[in-house]
């Protein structure tokens, strides 16, 4: 419970002060603890921030898994549910957190230790997406049209890019655009007949 309270306090203080402006003293105080309580759960401000990222991604993954498990077994029937999920206000990070995330990326670019930890976070994030994809392939009794790892990375990159575009020009990222991206990604990830989990990767230059 102490860890969760600290994560909730960190989300507020980081959003209010930015990554560089926030201090562990301020986060501990907001949570009602001493700084010693922070260090008993997290080694540094970097680790606390990355734990906050992981916590948010875990929540997104849990929501996604619940929606997919409760939905239709037919891919066509799932698309409306996925669209509803993606348009939900609680699913995407808000602009404040996207800005904070970008601040940490720029900081990590100049800090080797933080960059290594952020790369580990990226790998963890991609693995979660791959696991969600694998669950769907197994549930639908087929195989993915393309390998999971690159498709997971492409999916993450696309939505991270849309989040950054929304910071600069909010009107450019419309519901229709998100629907189009979902159509393209879900078609690319679609299921072919065959053993579950046995992806096939088209040869370069092969016709789709």
| Residues 42, 28: Cα–Cα separation, whole Å | 12
Full-model pTM: 0.78
| Residues 24, 10: Cα–Cα separation, whole Å | 9
Over 70: is that where the pLDDT of 208 sits? no
pLDDT-wise least confident of 15-24, 43-52, 146-155:
146-155
Q: Which two tokens stand for residue 96?
A: 């404040």
C-beta neighbour count of 183 within 10 angstroms: 12
51 contacts: CB under 8 Å, gap ≥ 6: 7, 42
Confidence of residue 97 (pLDDT cuts 50, 70, 90): confident
- CA-CA distances (angstroms) from residue 90 to 64, 87, 122? 12, 9, 21
Domains of the chain listed by start with CATH number: 1-42 (1.10.10.60), 44-193 (1.10.357.10)
Q: Are 24 and 38 spatial neighbours (Cβ–Cβ below 8 Å)? A: yes
């Amino acid at each position: 419970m102490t860890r969760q309270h600290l994560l909730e306090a960190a989300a507020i203080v980081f959003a209010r002060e930015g990554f560089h402006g926030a201090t562990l003293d301020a986060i501990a105080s907001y949570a009602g603890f001493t700084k010693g309580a922070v260090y008993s759960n997290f080694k540094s401000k970097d680790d606390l921030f990355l734990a906050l990222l992981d916590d948010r991604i875990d929540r997104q993954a849990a929501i996604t898994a619940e929606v997919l498990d409760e939905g239709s077994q037919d891919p066509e029937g799932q698309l409306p549910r996925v669209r509803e999920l993606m348009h939900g206000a609680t699913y995407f990070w808000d602009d404040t957190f996207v800005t904070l995330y970008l601040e940490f990326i720029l900081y990590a670019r100049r800090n080797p230790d933080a960059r290594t930890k952020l790369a580990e976070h990226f790998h963890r994030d991609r693995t979660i997406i791959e696991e969600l994809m694998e669950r769907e392939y197994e549930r639908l009794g087929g195989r993915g049209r393309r390998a999971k790892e690159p498709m997971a990375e492409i999916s993450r990159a696309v939505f991270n890019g849309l989040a950054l575009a929304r910071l600069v020009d909010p009107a450019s990222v419309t519901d229709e655009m998100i629907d189009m991206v979902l159509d393209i990604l879900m078609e690319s990830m679609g299921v072919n007949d065959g053993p579950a989990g046995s992806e096939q990767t088209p040869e370069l230059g092969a016709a789709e």
